[in-house]
Amino acid sequence: MARVVILGAGVSGHTAALRLRRMLGRRGDHEVVVVTPNANWNWIPSNIWVGVGQMPREKVVFPLAPVYEKTGVEFHQARAMAIRPEGDGESDQGAVDVEYTDPGRPGETARLRYDYLINATGPKLNFGATPGLGPDGHTVSVCTADHAIAAAEDLRATIERLKAGEPQTLVIGVGHGMCTCEGAAFEYAFNVEHQLREAGVRDLAEVVYLTNERELGDFGVGGMTFEQQGFVTTSALWTASIFRERGVNAILGAHVQRVEEGVIHYEQLDGTTHELAFDFAMLLPPFRGQEITAYDRAGEEITDRVFAPSGFMKVDADYTPKDYEAWRAEDWPTTYESPAYANVFAVGIAFAPPHAISRPAKSPSGTVIAPAPPRTGMPSGIMGRTVAATIADRIKSGDSATAHTASMARMGAGCIASAGTGMLSGSAAGMTMYPVVPDYQRFPGSGRDLRHTKGELGLAGHWTKVLLHHLFIYKAKARAMWWLIPE
Amino acid sequence: MNAPDHVAEPKGRTMLEQDPSIRHAPLPTRKTLRRRRNPLIQLYRFALLNSRMAYIALRGHK
Ligand SMILES: Cc1cc2nc3c(=O)[nH]c(=O)nc-3n(C[C@H](O)[C@H](O)[C@H](O)COP(=O)(O)OP(=O)(O)OC[C@H]3O[C@@H](n4cnc5c(N)ncnc54)[C@H](O)[C@@H]3O)c2cc1C
């Protein structure tokens, strides 16, 4: 009998758990265990709509326990604190130390043994990297459903002030020079802009997109090249056109140094520093890995062997520091196996990328101002499924079974960036790219296959976003034939 | 260059200068804006966009 422990039940961890349970058979001898601190699953992409008051919280979250009960997955509502890949004095079987967040087991801790471990713990929302950033400071966030509720409340108050005739400045973007997830900030900016128009108060509102991207449309993937109507064009031009059409301003190449009540202090790539007054600000935090430590059999700390300094777990990537020109598609991991322990894997945002995808940049004072690489929903889900397949094979055929592979440099992604809701008035930018990490050797020029790298704006994108919302929640609830829905 | 009247002119009190990349960006014509909202055209675009997404998802990681 084998026991697989999965840390985290987000896009990658939940996918891995459901797929693995199915691959191993519902009533097999093997155990699939999920450890995650939240009782609920959250479809994070739709938090954008919760954050503008267009969707209630209940539509984006649901309890995990009944799904795991139904599918035969053992569920621990707990937070992983430490991993012991070599075991401890009692056993040489790997183990995870957890602390329960289950209200029924306050303060309880446990050591859970595993044969295989998947780290799918996603990002730590590192608001602390920028003084004054985040819900405990002076800005709102949409990273969790509860954050989004608070953002919607703040936005409602801003709209009330606009209705009373008070001009307002709304700043939306990223709160640090090394943030990722610019696509989510873009979506929120345009959903807010849409709401202001719907409320009839657009005239008195200034909407500013504040970003660490050097140019619009970078989205942390170094931008995209498209072929459109006989021209080769770029996501930079395409995105700037949306900003112009909708009257949204942008501050590019910016690192937020600190936020005070109503004022953002930021530095730009040219080294200049500025202040920006605001009435409403939604700034995403930078991400880092969760605070999980690692110990060897003797109890000595080995965190730096297992995790990168960013807190993300090292996997089968090439982490040798290289200049941008020397970056290669092959640097990216394919199996997500820890180089230190072959039965430990990290997927989704939890794995340490070898380097950024966007071109690196620093201000004259040395501040890094460039997007970190995104690991969006589709790649995260594919990684979860791939590692599940590797583990299932090894359980069935032995540890020599070859690992399944899924490199971000060999994988495409579809991304729908909402720009406003409404079945007839909504719009979204629908983008597909192949591969996510450009491969300049295979696709000289843009690094991507232009037949599969496309972008378009319109109502169709909004309908697709709504469709994905329903499909992925259906799948995450493990309803009938869920497994037919691809990642 | 003034924006045509179907485009939202930025208004504001921060006196931020509009980023040149935005100032010089191409603007969609009224016809393009109508196409982006026309349910019939968009139904066709929806089918196309979803088939591209499905292709990417099913092709997975070749
Ligand atoms: C506002 C917003 C909008 C987005 N929109 C899109 C979009 O439109 N399309 C798209 O493709 N992507 C989007 N993304 C990105 C997408 O949400 C991520 O790609 C995806 O969630 C990553 O999956 P993951 O499994 O790595 O992490 P997560 O989904 O964040 O899951 C991490 C899990 O680990 C758990 N966890 C944390 N700490 C521990 C611990 N110590 N022990 C055990 N468990 C732990 C968490 O509770 C959670 O369950 C968006 C992101 C944001 C923030």
ipTM confidence score: 0.85
Dihedral pair phi/psi, residue A36, rounded to 5°: -155, 140
Which domain does B59 fall in, by range? 37-62
For A217, nearest residue in chain B (alpha carbons): B21
Three-state DSSP state, A194: helix
The answer to the question of residue B12 being in a domain is no
Report the nearest atom of ligand 1 relative to the CA of A14: 25
Task: Please give chain A's pLDDT, 487 residues, in tens.
Answer: 999 999 999 999 999 999 999 999 976 789 999 999 999 999 999 999 999 999 999 999 999 999 999 999 999 999 999 999 999 999 999 999 999 999 999 999 999 999 999 999 999 999 999 999 999 999 999 999 999 999 999 999 999 999 999 999 999 999 999 999 999 999 999 999 999 999 999 999 999 999 999 999 999 999 999 998 888 899 999 999 999 999 999 999 999 999 999 999 999 999 999 999 999 999 999 999 999 999 999 999 999 999 999 999 999 999 999 999 999 999 999 999 999 999 999 999 999 999 999 999 999 999 999 999 999 999 999 999 999 999 999 999 999 999 999 999 999 999 999 999 999 999 999 999 999 999 999 999 899 999 999 999 999 999 999 999 999 999 999 999 999 999 8
Among candidate residues A17, A18, A20, A25, the one with its CA nearest the CA of residue A482 = A18
Instruction: Please answer yes or no on whether A243 and B22 come within 8 Å at the CB atom.
Output: yes
Residue B5, pLDDT score: 54
C-alpha angle with apex A185: A134 to A434, nearest 5 degrees?
135
Among candidate residues B58, B56, B54, B61, the one with its CA nearest the CA of residue A387 = B61
Interface of B with A in 19-38 (CB under 8 A): 19, 21-28, 33, 35-38
What's the CA gap between A263 and A448, in Å, rounded?
40
The answer to the question of residue B32 being in a domain is no
The answer to the question of residue B43 being in a domain is yes
pLDDT band at B2 (very low <50, low <70, confident <90, very high): very low
- Which chain A residues are Cβ-neighbours of B43 within 8 angstroms? 460
Dihedral pair phi/psi, residue A468, rounded to 5°: -65, -40
Report the nearest atom of ligand 1 relative to the CA of A142: 1
Question: A141 and A184 in contact (C-beta within 8 Å)?
Answer: no
The answer to the question of residue B11 being in a domain is no
The beta strand positions in A312-388, using DSSP E, are 344-346
Instruction: Please answer yes or no on whether B57 and A407 come within 8 Å at the CB atom.
Output: no
Selected residue of B17, B56, B62 to mutate for chain A interface (largest A Cβ count, 10 A) = B56
Domain boundaries, chain A: 3-125+288-364+372-397
> Whose Cα sits closest to atom 27 in ligand 1?
A122
A121, A149, A182, A312, best to mutate for ligand 1 pocket (most atoms within 8 Å of CB): A121
Cβ neighbours around A321 below 10 Å, total: 7
Question: A214 and A253 in contact (C-beta within 8 Å)?
Answer: yes
Among candidate residues A448, A26, A452, the one with its CA nearest the CA of residue A224 = A448
The answer to the question of residue B4 being in a domain is no
Interface of A with B in 110-149 (CB under 8 A): none
- In this predicted model, what pLDDT tens digit does every residue of A95-107 receive, in sequence order? 999 999 999 999 9
> Taking 90 as the threshold, does the pLDDT of residue B9 lie above it?
no
In this structure, the residues whose C-beta lies within 6 A of any atom of ligand 1 are A 7-13, 35-38, 44-45, 47-48, 79-80, 120-123, 142-143, 181, 184, 290, 292, 348-350, 375-378, 380, 415
**Cα end-to-end span (Å), chain A:** 28
The answer to the question of residue B54 being in a domain is yes
> Whose Cα sits closest to atom 21 in ligand 1?
A11
Among candidate residues A335, A372, A378, the one with its CA nearest the CA of residue A355 = A372
Report the nearest atom of ligand 1 relative to the CA of A418: 8
Instruction: Count structural domains, chain B.
Output: 1
DSSP character for A268? Answer: E
Contacts of A204 (CB under 8 A, 6+ apart): A162, A165, A166, A167, A168, B11
What's the CA gap between A112 and A414, in Å, rounded?
37
The answer to the question of residue B59 being in a domain is yes
> Taking 60 as the threshold, does the pLDDT of residue B11 lie above it?
no
The DSSP H or E segment spanning A71 is: helix A65-71
- In this predicted model, what pLDDT tens digit does every residue of A111-161 receive, in sequence order? 999 999 999 999 999 999 999 999 999 999 999 999 999 999 999 999 999
Question: A367 and A383 in contact (C-beta within 8 Å)?
Answer: no
Q: Residue A414: which of B8, B9, B57 has the nearest Cβ?
A: B57
The CATH architecture to which A3-125+288-364+372-397 belongs is 3-Layer(bba) Sandwich (3.50)
Give residue B38 CA to ligand 1 midpoint distance, Å: 34
DSSP character for B4? Answer: P
pTM confidence score: 0.95
Residue A269, pLDDT score: 97
Residue B13, pLDDT score: 59
- Which chain A residues are Cβ-neighbours of B52 within 8 angstroms? 414, 432, 452, 454
Cβ neighbours around B9 below 10 Å, total: 9
Among candidate residues A244, A235, A223, the one with its CA nearest the CA of residue A429 = A235
